[in-house]
Amino acid sequence: MDDLILHEYAPSGNCYKIRLTAALLGQPIRRVHYDILKGETRTPAFLANVNANGRIPVLQIGARFLPESNAACYWLASGSPLVPVDRFDQADMLRWMFFEQYNHEPNVATLRFWRAFVGEGALSEAQRGQIAGKQAAGEAALALMADELESRDWLVGAGPSLADICLFAYTHVADEGGFDLACWPAIGRWIARIKALPGFVPLQD
Amino acid sequence: MDDLILHEYAPSGNCYKIRLTAALLGQPIRRVHYDILKGETRTPAFLANVNANGRIPVLQIGARFLPESNAACYWLASGSPLVPVDRFDQADMLRWMFFEQYNHEPNVATLRFWRAFVGEGALSEAQRGQIAGKQAAGEAALALMADELESRDWLVGAGPSLADICLFAYTHVADEGGFDLACWPAIGRWIARIKALPGFVPLQD
């Protein structure tokens, strides 16, 4: 197995997904920290050597670099029980992972970043104009998850998959973005199930 | 093989991805049309029976429903040459597909929808406030693709994969959103390669 290096900003849920997947699989991973608030992922060296898209996380596998958090989780979990073997279930897992990046992260994670890291006073006018829309869209994403979790323990199949891990990352800290998780008790029960998985590690460690 | 039904709005690039994948694989698919401009994917019946997220496309496989365009493409192409077998390449293909949904579609596709379908005069103030940011982010996404395509024919591995198909859908009509593809000649050459693939079908058919 090649050495694995996670290029990351530790408070990011996108980076945490990868650490959590690796931990659940018992896979050691070395961590290299960048402060995104200081622009450390936009330097010429980072853009040339790690990710031309100027973003973390990036999973380094030997000499190769894999951006996009959910793709990195997929690489780590390939062939493990976290990726269902059934053709429909595997696509359905990816369905939730694309939903996470399209409907959930840009709302739930962005409001957390704006409110808990940048601070509302430091937002641009264009950003402030998006808060109401992102609040509504984030609530809709959480409600959709909660509806699904009313009738099942895990989002896909009979056990935990990357769909659960990837959506857990920003969902369990959604309160930092101004979302009241008490509105969706099914999500609270699902969070407790994930925290009880063998090998679980918290976001801040 | 179960009967396949694509619940779609034909001008949507997200729906076109699925038709193009099916066509390249020689897989027949039945099409059911919804007019998103008339809210036909927000009706109680659609939400209850097709997709609780109120969006198209949805790929119906027998009695099961698979939302998210890139997940539907993945289901269709599982086991075909459009999905690389190599572990890194498969994850790298998904990397481009997540990039498409996170960095490309919300900018390149949304500006096309706003400018060519809704009309700038009908946009809300919050939407108009996002145009400049989406224009810059869309150009950055196209530049990233172009940089990659300067040195290779396909985004992953030695042949076309879902990474190319999924990014082609909105890239080749980016001019309708106000992007000048002449700025990125490598993208123009890649578009020509995709249009020359056996089985290729155009967006409007």
CATH number at residue A39: 3.40.30.10
Supply the DSSP string of B137-157, one letter for each residue: HHHHHHHHHHHHHHS-SSSST
Between strands B4-8 and B58-61, the pairing is antiparallel
| Domain boundary, last residue among B28, B47, B77 | B77
Report pLDDT for A37: 87
pLDDT for B149-199, tens place per residue? 999 999 999 999 999 999 999 999 999 999 999 999 999 999 999 999 999
Domain count, chain B: 2
- Domain contains B39: yes
pLDDT for A13-49, tens place per residue? 999 999 999 999 999 999 999 999 899 999 999 999 9
Lookup result for tokens 């038709």 = B19
| B109 in the same domain as B33 | no
- Domain contains B205: no
| B130 in the same domain as B110 | yes
In whole angstroms, give the CA distance from residue A94 to residue A83: 10
Amino acid residing at A132: A
Listed in sequence order, the residues at least 6 apart from B92 whose beta carbon sits closer than 8 Å to its beta carbon are A66, A71, B84, B156, B163
Contact A94 B99 (CB under 8 A): no
Report pLDDT for B204: 87
Contact B88 A67 (CB under 8 A): no
- Domain contains A200: no
- Domain contains B204: no
Q: How far is A131 from chain B (nearest CA, A)?
A: 10
| B49 in the same domain as B96 | no
Contact A71 B91 (CB under 8 A): yes
Report pLDDT for A70: 98
Report pLDDT for A2: 74
- Domain contains A82: no
Report pLDDT for B2: 74
Report pLDDT for B96: 98
Question: Can you give the residue range of the structural domain that contains B57?
Answer: 4-77
pLDDT for A166-183, tens place per residue? 999 999 999 999 999 999
Mutate to test the interface with A, among B98, B147, B155 (most CBs of A within 10 A): B98
Amino acid residing at A80: S
Contact A68 B147 (CB under 8 A): no
pLDDT of residue B10 exceeding 70, the answer is yes
pLDDT for B115-157, tens place per residue? 999 999 999 988 999 999 999 999 999 999 999 999 999 999 9
Q: How far is B182 from chain A (nearest CA, A)?
A: 21
Contact B97 A98 (CB under 8 A): yes
Q: What is the mean pLDDT of residues A149-167?
A: 97
- Domain contains A203: no
Other beta carbons within 10 angstroms of residue B106's beta carbon come to 19
pLDDT for A89-104, tens place per residue? 999 999 999 999 999 9
A75, A101, A126: residue with CB nearest B130: A126
Phi, psi of B111 (to 5 degrees): -65, -35
Residues of B in contact with A97 (CB under 8 A): 98
Q: How far is B49 from chain A (nearest CA, A)?
A: 14
* CB B83, CB B77: distance < 8 Å: yes
| A72 in the same domain as A101 | no
Q: What is the mean pLDDT of residues B93-110?
A: 98
Report pLDDT for B37: 87
In whole angstroms, give the CA distance from residue B149 to residue A79: 30
| B107 in the same domain as B12 | no
| B164 in the same domain as B128 | yes
Residue of A nearest to B53 (CA): A144
In whole angstroms, give the CA distance from residue A78 to residue B91: 9
Contact A98 B98 (CB under 8 A): yes
Amino acid residing at A88: F
* Mean per-residue pLDDT over chain A, rounded: 96
Residues of B in contact with A110 (CB under 8 A): none
Residues of A in contact with B69 (CB under 8 A): 98
pLDDT of residue A1 exceeding 80, the answer is no
| A141 in the same domain as A94 | yes
> Residue B140 corresponds to which tokens in the numbers above?
């950055």
Q: How far is A18 from chain B (nearest CA, A)?
A: 13
| A135 in the same domain as A95 | yes
B53, B98, B132: residue with CB nearest A71: B98
In whole angstroms, give the CA distance from residue A196 to residue B105: 36
Q: What is the pTM of this model?
A: 0.97
- Domain contains A160: yes
For residue B165, give the nearest of B58, B73, B28 by alpha carbon: B73
pLDDT of residue B1 exceeding 80, the answer is no
Contact B71 A94 (CB under 8 A): yes
- Domain contains B203: no
pLDDT for B43-89, tens place per residue? 999 999 999 999 999 999 999 999 999 999 999 999 999 999 999 99
Report pLDDT for A205: 67
| B167 in the same domain as B139 | yes
Report pLDDT for B205: 67
| A122 in the same domain as A31 | no
* CATH code for the domain of A103: 1.20.1050.10
Listed in sequence order, the residues at least 6 apart from A83 whose beta carbon sits closer than 8 Å to its beta carbon are A74, A77, A90, A93, A161, A162
| Domain boundary, last residue among A31, A51, A77 | A77
Task: Please report which confidence band the pLDDT of residue A204 belongs to, taking 50, 70 and 90 as the band edges.
Answer: confident
| A100 in the same domain as A40 | no
| Domain boundary, last residue among A17, A43, A77 | A77
Report pLDDT for B148: 97
Report pLDDT for A165: 98
| B64 in the same domain as B118 | no
Percent of chain B at pLDDT exceeding 90: 97
Contact A102 B99 (CB under 8 A): no
